[in-house]
Amino acid sequence: MQNRSHRKEPSKNIIFGLRAIQEAIQSENEIEKILIQKNLQSDASKELIARLSSLRIPFQKVPIEKLNKITRKNHQGFIGFLSPVQFFSIENVIETCYSEGKDPFVLILDRLTDVRNFGAIVRTAECAGIDAIITPDLGGALVSGDAMKTSAGALNYVKICRSKSLYRTIQYLKNSGLKIISCTEKTNDELFKCDLTGPLACILGSEENGINDDLLKISDQKCKIPLLGKIESLNVSVSAGIVIYEAIRQRSS
């Protein structure tokens, strides 16, 4: 019997080949990110990289083996991921909140790559009326069809903002009057004793790596969820729900 590969064929949110990616850019499709084979030296690849940079579309140079794992088709060294949602500017979101007389409340997801956790957090955020979720350009969960499904469609309503540098984005938020709260075990301050009122941004990290130390250092306050059992950590989407609704409780009092 002939062996068969278990690699999945491209889903509808994946495009491949130089021309397909050029056409997606030309038609102004929302693009999550582009993977480009390392060491390509053609004029076409250089032109594409320059265009991606000018349009601030995230791209990453990767070994050809990674591209081949995504699709067996002729990708020519280029694979793109289309996003099912529109991305927003965090600057516009904050300005809109203040112009409407509202204290902004946003989430920042650092190094969170699991699509199911991401979708679950988006679902909770939508139910709670969160103004925006900020994710890194690269190194975060893909805003894919799987994320849409896990979010139960909430991705259609929550504003997702991409950041090339979470550090610089947090500095902007601080300068805009938002208090930065990091949810981390690296503190003795408990969540329920922290002030979560007023303009607020809460940082959540991955279960494996937590929050980047550089982001912890520029936070205004660190807080942790008290754990009373034997397990030392909560699922990040559960943690997000606790933090979000504790903030809502305080802000509604």
Residue 127 falls within a domain, yes or no? yes
Sequence-ordered list of residues with C-beta below 8 angstroms from that of 147, at least 6 positions apart, any chain: 115, 118, 119, 122, 141, 155
Co-location of 120 and 197 in the same domain: yes
Co-location of 57 and 116 in the same domain: no
pLDDT above 80: residue 8: no
Tokens 């807080």: give the residue: 223
In this structure, the number of other CB atoms found within 10 A of the CB of residue 73 comes to 13
What integer pLDDT is reported at residue 249 of this predicted model? Answer: 97
Residue 3 falls within a domain, yes or no? no
Sequence-ordered list of residues with C-beta below 8 angstroms from that of 97, at least 6 positions apart, any chain: 103, 104, 131, 199
Q: The domain that contains 167 carries what CATH number?
A: 3.40.1280.10
pLDDT above 80: residue 12: no
**For range 175-184, the mean pLDDT:** 97
111, 166 contact by CB (below 8 A): no
Co-location of 59 and 95 in the same domain: no
Tokens of 5: 């590969």
Predicted confidence band at 165 (pLDDT cuts at 50, 70, 90)? very high
Co-location of 63 and 112 in the same domain: no
What integer pLDDT is reported at residue 5 of this predicted model? Answer: 35
End-of-domain residue from the set 82, 103, 127: 82
End-of-domain residue from the set 31, 57, 82: 82
Co-location of 33 and 91 in the same domain: no
Residue 4 falls within a domain, yes or no? no
Co-location of 72 and 108 in the same domain: no
What integer pLDDT is reported at residue 11 of this predicted model? Answer: 52
223, 183 contact by CB (below 8 A): yes
DSSP line for 19-86: HHHHHHHHTT--EEEEEEETT---HHHHHHHHHHHHHT--EEEE-HHHHHHH-SS--TTEEEEE-SS-
Residue 196 falls within a domain, yes or no? yes
Co-location of 70 and 115 in the same domain: no
* Full domain range(s) for residue 248: 87-252
End-of-domain residue from the set 35, 58, 82: 82
- Beta strand spans in the chain (E): 14-16, 31-37, 59-62, 78-82, 87-88, 105-110, 132-136, 160-163, 179-183, 200-205, 221-223
> How far is Cα 20 from Cα 25, in angstroms, rounded to an integer?
9
Cα–Cα distances in angstroms (integers) from residue 140 to residues 72, 75, 193, 206, in the given order: 25, 23, 30, 10
Residue 211 falls within a domain, yes or no? yes
Co-location of 130 and 47 in the same domain: no
Co-location of 78 and 161 in the same domain: no
Tens-digit pLDDT profile for residues 14-69: 898 898 999 888 877 788 889 999 989 888 889 999 999 888 888 999 999 999 99
Sequence-ordered list of residues with C-beta below 8 angstroms from that of 157, at least 6 positions apart, any chain: 126
pLDDT above 50: residue 3: no
Residue 55 falls within a domain, yes or no? yes
> How far is Cα 165 from Cα 167, in angstroms, rounded to an integer?
5
> How far is Cα 32 from Cα 120, in angstroms, rounded to an integer?
19
Q: The domain that contains 43 carries what CATH number?
A: 3.30.1330.30
In this structure, the number of other CB atoms found within 10 A of the CB of residue 184 comes to 19
**For range 112-138, the mean pLDDT:** 95
Co-location of 223 and 176 in the same domain: yes
Total domain count, the chain: 2
